[in-house]
């Protein structure tokens, strides 16, 4: 049921134990949720979504028609995006050109 739990956990650099501590369950429970041996109740699903700052839809693997999938990002990528959003248009264009050149 939690299609993206392991992906999110690993992308954020959490161990199963660290995630378990954050949401108040055992490491074994996290393992069982990730392998679909058990399904958590809705309150725990919401806790997972809050920890990873994603929607419950994304967490359970539900993609709304017409929407691009949301890809998990790590904390450093998130910080870069937040900084990029604060730049004015000319600076953003310069950064885009720079990335185009670097990706050759």
DSSP conformation letters of the chain: --TTHHHHHHHTT--HHHHHHHHTS-HHHHHHHHTTSS---HHHHHHHHHHHT--HHHHTT---TTPPPPPP--HHHHHHHHHHHHS-HHHHHHHHHHHHHHT-
pLDDT of residue 103 exceeding 80, the answer is no
How many whole angstroms separate alpha carbon 53 and alpha carbon 55? 7
Longest pairwise C-alpha distance within the chain: 51
Range of the domain at 95: 73-104
Based on the fold, state whether residues 20 and 54 are members of the same structural domain: yes
Based on the fold, state whether residues 10 and 49 are members of the same structural domain: yes
pLDDT of residue 65 exceeding 60, the answer is no
Based on the fold, state whether residues 22 and 45 are members of the same structural domain: yes
Cβ-based neighbour number of residue 89 at 10 Å: 7
Does residue 104 fall inside a structural domain?
Answer: yes
Is the pTM higher than 0.75? The answer reads no
For residue 68, which phi and psi values (nearest 5 degrees)?
-75, 145
pLDDT grade, residue 34 (50/70/90)?
very high
């Amino acid at each position: 049921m939690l299609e993206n739990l392991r992906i999110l956990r690993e992308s954020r650099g959490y161990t199963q134990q660290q995630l378990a501590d954050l949401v108040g369950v055992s490491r074994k429970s996290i393992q069982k949720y990730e392998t679909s041996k058990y399904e958590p109740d809705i309150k725990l699903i919401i806790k997972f979504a809050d920890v990873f700052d994603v929607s419950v839809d994304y967490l359970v693997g539900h993609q709304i028609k017409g929407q691009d999938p949301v890809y998990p990002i790590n904390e450093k990528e998130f910080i870069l995006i937040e900084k990029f959003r604060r730049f004015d248009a000319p600076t953003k264009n310069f950064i885009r050109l720079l990335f185009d050149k670097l990706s050759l």
